[in-house]
Structure 1
Amino acid sequence: MTREISFAEIKKHNNEKSVWIVIHNDVYDVTSYLGEHPGGEDALLEVAGKDGTQNFEDVGHSEDARNIMKKFKIGTLPPSERTGSSNITNCSNLKWAVLALAGAIVVGIVLKKYLS
């Protein structure tokens, strides 16, 4: 069973000695990862004790990064404190799908024009 951790508790972990962040309603203790983070420790400290979902998604982390972070998960927000942050990933995926569709349409138009 996953431990529920409130924002009140998370906010206490906002310094170099204890860095907890929320990403997609899950709570991560990334204190031991500060020195290893490819983006530098400042990127993590900026969202220490806060919801870092938007920052995390804006950077466009790889699947490898998403797998690495699993080992730092220590809990989840209580249902009453959760946000719809999972929609950020869905919007990001939708953005890429729309771009791919637009690209396919352009390629189709160009091919039709030059093959006619």
Structure 2
Amino acid sequence: MDSDTKVYRLEDVSKHNTHQDCWLVIDGKVYDVTKFLEDHPGGDEVLISATGKDATDDFEDVGHSSSARAMMDEYYVGDIDPSTIPSKPKYTPAKQAPYNPDKSSEFIIKILQFLVPLLILGMAVAVRYYTKSS
């Protein structure tokens, strides 16, 4: 980092969030894109909505061209203090019991424990019905 380079805190950059004064943080650098708002191919609201946060992922997701990246130098005003950027939450999958194919047999046993007595009862009723009329 150059000794002349200005270092900004994210909360200071986020105050520049209007059409008359718009700053962004991309890759640890601060850009004043106010003069570019009208010319931005994605519209000015895309840039306005990216203020107050690290917009690096938003910028990279779009897939900007090398000429767009070269234009950024014109709007560079300083660096961001990385300690002021909130850490991104890491994805943690929900905890669930691992699939156990051996549990399938337990399920079948429970069903059979329920169905077998019903079948026996049904057969007993049928036998009684048909033997009674003879």
Bigger RCO of structures 1 and 2 (CA < 8 A, at least 6 apart): 1
Q: TM-score with structure 1 length normalisation?
A: 0.66
Query: Is structure 2 residue 75 aligned with structure 1 residue 68?
Result: no
Give the conservation status (yes or no) of the 8 Å contact 1:19–1:49: no
Give the conservation status (yes or no) of the 8 Å contact 1:25–1:82: no
Q: CA deviation at 1:49?
A: 2.9
Could you say which residue in structure 1 is the equivalent of 2:99?
A: none
Alignment match of 2:59 (pick from 56, 59, 62): 56
Give the conservation status (yes or no) of the 8 Å contact 1:3–1:74: yes
Q: Which runs of 5+ in 2 are unaligned?
A: 89-134
Q: Percent identity?
A: 41
Query: Is structure 2 residue 97 aligned with structure 1 residue 80?
Result: no
Amino acid at match of 2:16: H
Q: CA deviation at 1:21?
A: 0.6
Query: Is structure 2 residue 8 aligned with structure 1 residue 5?
Result: yes
Q: CA deviation at 1:38?
A: 1.2
How many residues are aligned here?
85
Once the two structures are superposed, what CA deviation does each residue of 1:28-55 show, in whole Å capped at 9, x if it has no partner? 0000100011111111111023211111
Q: Which runs of 5+ in 1 are unaligned?
A: 86-116
Q: TM-score with structure 2 length normalisation?
A: 0.58
Q: CA deviation at 1:11?
A: 1.3
Give the conservation status (yes or no) of the 8 Å contact 1:22–1:51: yes
Q: CA RMSD in A?
A: 1.9
Q: CA deviation at 1:83?
A: 7.5
